Structure 1
Amino acid sequence: MAHRTTLRDIAHEVGVSVTTVSLVLNNRLARVSDETRAQILETAKRLRYVPNQNARSLLTKRTMLIALIVPDIENLFFAALARCLEESCQAAGYELVIANSNDRRAVERDLLQHVVARGVDGLFLIPARESYVDEVGLREDVRRVPCPVTLIDRLVSAQWCDGAGFDNVLGGALAARRLLEAGHTRIGCISGDGREGSANRRRRGFADVLEQAGVPLESMLDVAGDYRFDGGYAATAAMVDNGATAVFCCNDLMAMGLLRGLRERGLSVPADMSVIGYDNIMERFGMQIEVTTVEQDVAQLARAAWELLSARIGAPGEGHPWLAEPRTRVLAPCLVDKGSVRDLR
């Protein structure tokens, strides 16, 4: 087994005490000359010294680990958000551990126990849909977690835990106003799975604006797409056959499915149908989709979530302040017009 360089090895080579080496490498005050400090740092680099995190954790009472539990890591929005959160953590010297709940509450509960057992310093949680609709149960699960917790994206209706997310009702309203301003009156919506959640809130904001404008969302044009490409593709028939001139898709993945369905029918956007998506996430993965969309800036969301969580780590106070005095950051989405809305006026 290869020898692991220790503080004693560096101290022996430089000719100083182990305590002095430790103080210098941890950027703490040490009574040494600038020349000796530089020599210690150079020796540590040359010998490829790697700090023993276990030993450091015993001293600092921190593991420098942050956990993130996501419902579906294959979802491009969650994947991009995970990457941005990782960057925020790394910039502060933390390592991000990512776990996938498969959008199932039972899996999520097991993961909560697992990450707590690893002694993480903080937890980001995007609740599974089953947990999201049962706030009482979710709150009890989070209450058992001893480290700071920040909910992300899927915010609970009652403010009982630190959380950061986007205003989904506003996002749906932005899409509705854009289509109404363009003169559309036969407007469809492809939402999630009908249960309470982000897509349902987008649909609610969208439908409310249509209702207020005297153009209510008709049941035959209100279709669940289950957040997936295939769901958007399957909804094409309902939109075309019932005469929709415009469609709002509650995520870009369903919008892509709709686009394929339209192409297969010989129809184009926006000449034959106007389309608005949601997320504006595809370009981060090198996929160009020229569809007007409601953007949720994942980098902005990651920064807001990290600010909330990092402020709780090691902060003085009794109990669980992230539950006792919760803070919420609700961010505003914006409409990115890519020319996929035809003006009928």
Structure 2
Amino acid sequence: MSKRTTIRDVAAAAGVSVTAVSLVLNNRPSRVSEERRRIILDAAERLHYVPNQVARTLVTQRSMLLALIMPDVQNLFFAALAKRIEDECRQAGYSLIIANTSDSRMAESEIIRRLSARGVDGMFLIAAGESCANVDALRSDVSECRCPVLFVDRLIDLDWCDGVGIDNRAGGRMAAQFLLECGHRRIACVSGDTRIGNAYERRDGFLEALRNAIAEDPVAVVEGDYRFEGGYDAADAVLESGATAVFCCNDLMAMGLMQRMHERGLAVPADLSVIGYDGIAERFGFGNPLTTIGQKIGWLAHESAMIMLDRIDHSGSDDFRHVTLPPELIRRGTVRII
């Protein structure tokens, strides 16, 4: 086994003191000249020096670890969001631990306690569906954390915590208005689990826009579960309703619905126009280019990371920040004008 390069090795190679190397590599104020600084950094790179994180944690009281707790790692939206949050964390010098709750309140509570005890510097939390319906228990868990917690995407009552999400109600309205502009009047909706805040906000924004424009409800509203199977299972009820268009409250359900249509020998958008929500279908190369309401995943990840890093630096503040980002209409090939 090769010997691990130490800070003393770097100091010897650069011809400087161990203290000078420590100050430079930890980016701390010092009187080290720019020339000596470059020599030290070159030596560290040449020797493949990797800092001892355990020792650094003892000095800085930071683990340089962040955690992302999410309800479903198989959900493509959450997978894409996790990748972008990890990118943001890495650029800031942090490693990211990703934990899956399977949308379970019990699992989420256990994971929060375990990661807090492990000493992570902060947690990004996409709340489990069960927690959205039991906010008091979730708040109790968060209050016992030894680190900042920031809610992402699924925003609930947040006068006690930071949060970053998308304006889901506006996204639902946007979907309805686009379908109406394309001439559709017999419109169906496949919602997510309405215990989850963003699910009922998308659905309610959609219903509000329909009622304001044509004073009518959808011809069918079917509750799904944000999974491919939810859209697949909802497809027959939507088709039998006589709808000419359907709003699926996420792209996965839209893809499931289109799969069932294909099995029945039906085409999109000739037989039914489909609009989704999230903007992830094309990112992963699935099926027809899907008309959808995009969530600007990169923006969501960046804002979340910036607020988290600021919170870590100012952990004593109770001035919680809540950022709601606008969605965007992405026009592709699954909605026709009638």
With structure 1 as the length reference, what TM-score do the two structures score?
A: 0.92
CA contact (8 A) 2:152 2:164 kept: yes
How far apart are residue 10 of structure 1 and its match? 2.4
CA contact (8 A) 1:76 1:281 kept: yes
* Cα distance between partner residues in 2 of 1:341 and 1:156: 32
Corresponding residue for 2:206?
Answer: 206
Corresponding residue for 2:233?
Answer: 234
Corresponding residue for 2:335?
Answer: 341
Opposite residue 136 of structure 1, the aligned amino acid is D
How far apart are residue 47 of structure 1 and its match? 2.2
How far apart are residue 327 of structure 1 and its match? 1.1
Corresponding residue for 1:93?
Answer: 93
Greater shift in the superposed pair: 20-29 or 195-204: 20-29
Corresponding residue for 1:63?
Answer: 63
CA contact (8 A) 1:185 1:215 kept: no
CA-based RMSD: 1.8
Q: Deviations over 1:285-337 (max 9, x none)?
A: 233532210010110100111121111112264xxx3xx32210001101111
List aligned pairs for 1:131-142, cutoff 5 A. Answer: 131-142=131-142
With structure 2 as the length reference, what TM-score do the two structures score?
A: 0.94
Corresponding residue for 1:302?
Answer: 301
CA contact (8 A) 2:132 2:195 kept: no
The 1:342–1:6 alpha-carbon spacing in structure 2 relative to 1, beyond 3 Å, is same
* Cα distance between partner residues in 2 of 1:268 and 1:316: 54
Corresponding residue for 1:19?
Answer: 19
The 1:38–1:307 alpha-carbon spacing in structure 2 relative to 1, beyond 3 Å, is closer
* Cα distance between partner residues in 2 of 1:12 and 1:290: 59
* Cα distance between partner residues in 1 of 2:4 and 2:115: 28
CA contact (8 A) 2:273 2:336 kept: yes
Structure 2 gap ranges (5+): none
* Cα distance between partner residues in 2 of 1:286 and 1:217: 33
How far apart are residue 163 of structure 1 and its match? 0.2
The 1:236–1:36 alpha-carbon spacing in structure 2 relative to 1, beyond 3 Å, is closer
Opposite residue 336 of structure 2, the aligned amino acid is R
Opposite residue 41 of structure 1, the aligned amino acid is L
CA contact (8 A) 1:191 1:249 kept: yes
Greater shift in the superposed pair: 36-45 or 290-299: 36-45
Opposite residue 65 of structure 2, the aligned amino acid is L
Aligned residues: 338
Greater shift in the superposed pair: 183-192 or 293-302: 183-192
* Cα distance between partner residues in 2 of 1:301 and 1:328: 12
How far apart are residue 148 of structure 1 and its match? 1.2
How far apart are residue 134 of structure 1 and its match? 1.4
Identical residues among aligned pairs (%): 54
Greater shift in the superposed pair: 206-215 or 111-120: 206-215
Structure 1 gap ranges (5+): none
Q: Deviations over 1:29-81 (max 9, x none)?
A: 44455554333333222222111111111111111111110111110111111
* Cα distance between partner residues in 1 of 2:336 and 2:33: 71
Q: Deviations over 1:165-218 (max 9, x none)?
A: 001111111111111222222111011134243222111111111122234325
* Cα distance between partner residues in 1 of 2:12 and 2:226: 61
Secondary structure of the equivalent of 1:235? Answer: helix
